[in-house]
Structure 1
Amino acid sequence: MKIKNSVVIVTGANRGLGKQFAAQLLERGAERVYAAARNPELVDLPGVDAIRLDVTDQQHVDDAAHAVGHADIVINNAGFSSFARLVDGDLNDIRREIEVNYFGALRMIRAFAPAMRNRGRGAFLNVSSVMAWLGYEHSNSYGASKAANWAMSNGLREELAGAGIQVSSVLLGSTDTDMMAGIDVPKNRPEELVATVLDQFEGGVNEILADDAAQGLKSGLSDDRGSFAG
């Protein structure tokens, strides 16, 4: 899917990866970039159209779809992590992770896919995580939500086959964003990672393994599950 002259909406676009996506889409010649955020007043990127969107609120999603009219590309970037454990984490935190990371993306897809089908073209870019394939002492509810996001992309390719709609998923490891602030591990640079993702997205890659962590983990998915502890 080519970015030049396209209309794009990016969720969670006020910071981190979302802001980088919006900035680089403009650099690549997108005709219009809608930077969606729960607090659009925090969007400080010249050249974008900031719109209010909480992906957990169906009315917000419907309003965004109405405001945009049609989108050539929808980037489902909005994400939430509570670092909750499965056994004793707060269920409200776990539910919010599922609501944002899975249902939020699905709401956007259901809102924008019909117009894409009618036009015979379009693309979704869904941001998942290597946590879909990992187990840690913490954050496993986040991993479960991202695994659902990954599986959703796989299923959508089948449901939308023949409709002219590209569905790409992004798998990535630790990246230097607000979500990872305070965690002392090696991290991707957001601007470099987004450039890699958009290059592959424009090349039509369905499953974008955006860094060494994603590539290494994907190659070992047939290994014994015990080797996937963090």
Structure 2
Amino acid sequence: MKLDNAIVLVTGANRGLGEEFARQALARGARKVYAGARDPSTVALPGVVPVRLDINDAAQVRDAAAACADATLVINNAGIASPGSLLDEDSIAAMRRMMDTNVYGMLRVSQAFAPVLAANRGGAFLNVLSVASWISTPGLAAYAATKSAAWSVNNGLRIALKQQGTQVLGLHVGFVDTELTRGIDLPKLAPAEVVARAYAALEEGKSEVLIDELSQNVKRGLSQEPGIYLDVVQRPT
């Protein structure tokens, strides 16, 4: 799918990676960019159309689908992460909150906008996933579980939407330098680099894009014996 003349909706577009998706869509010639946010007043990027959109609110999602009925590309970017161990007392509650946004929210938006894209000659979904779809770490294990579920939903959507001609692109990446990863002392990619590579893959018609070397190495390691997912991935020092 080409960005030129596209009409784009980005969820979680008021900051970080979502804001960068919106910015680069405009720069690549998108005719209109809807910037979804729980509070539209927090959308500061010039040139976009702010849209009230809490992806956990079914009514707001339905309203957004009606208001953005001309959309040809939907970027499921909104997500949350809560650090902590699976053995923490509140880990189930924390995982439930993340599942609501990272999995059910993504699916809720996809269900609402699938008919919109069908009416607009197919279009595309770009779903922001993570290298955590395939590996776990002690402090982000619950988050990783939700991203594994999101990866499976992403693949199910691709199959379900194939007949209507909708491209579904899953984006896997390690840590990105945004507010979400503040306080994590590990190498991070710039949002601009992530978005540029994601849009290049979208325009090439791909179904999956592994943005960084970490994601590429982990994906290859899934079929190793022993599998790379059986322990914490060690980063070179």
TM-score between both structures, scaled by the size of structure 1: 0.96
8 Å contact kept, 1:33–1:48: yes
Identity, % of aligned positions: 46
Shift of 1:228: 4.2
Give the aligned residue type for 1:20.
E
Give the RMSD, CA atoms, in angstroms. 1.3
CA distance, structure 2, for counterparts of residue 37 and residue 93 of structure 1: 22
Does 1:185 pair with 2:186? yes
Deviation, structure 1 residue 163: 1.2
Runs of 4+ in 1 over 6 A off after TM superposition: none
Measure, in 2, the Cα distance between the counterparts of 1:83 and 1:182.
Answer: 11
- Judge conservation of contact 1:84–1:94 (CA < 8 Å) in 2: no
Write out per-residue CA displacement over residues 127-174 of structure 1, whole angstroms, 9 at most, x where no aligned residue: 000011112111111111111111111111211122110000000001
Deviation at 1:108, TM superposition (A): 0.6
Alpha-carbon distance in structure 2 between the residues aligned to 1:13 and 1:209: 22
Does 2:126 align with 1:137?
A: no
Whole-Å Cα distance in 1 between the matches of residues 28 and 202 of structure 2?
A: 12
1:70 lines up with 2:70 in the alignment: yes
User: For this pair of structures, how many residues does the alignment match?
Assistant: 230
Unaligned runs of 5+ in 1: none
For the residue of structure 1 that corresponds to 2:61, the secondary structure is helix
State the TM-score, normalized to the length of structure 2: 0.93
Summarize the alignment of residues 79-98 of structure 1 with structure 2, pairs less than 5 Å apart.
79-90=79-90, 91-98=92-99
Aligned to 1:122: 123
Query: Where does residue 222 of structure 2 map in the other structure?
Result: 221
Deviations 1:32-59 (A, max 9, x none): 0000011211111000001111101101
Q: Find the aligned partners of 1:13 and 1:84 in 2 and give their Cα distance.
A: 26
Q: Distance in 2 between matches of 1:172 and 1:64?
A: 28
Q: Is the 8 A contact 2:81 2:98 kept in 1?
A: yes
The residue type paired with residue 59 of structure 2 is: Q
Q: Measure the CA separation in 1 of the matches of 2:84 and 2:54.
A: 21
Cα 1:29/1:228, change in 2 over 3 Å: farther
Q: Residue 92 of structure 1: CA displacement?
A: 2.4
Shift of 1:192: 1.1
Q: 1:193 to 1:85 in 2, by over 3 A?
A: same
What is the CA–CA distance in structure 1 between the aligned matches of 2:84 and 2:111, rounded to whole Å? 28
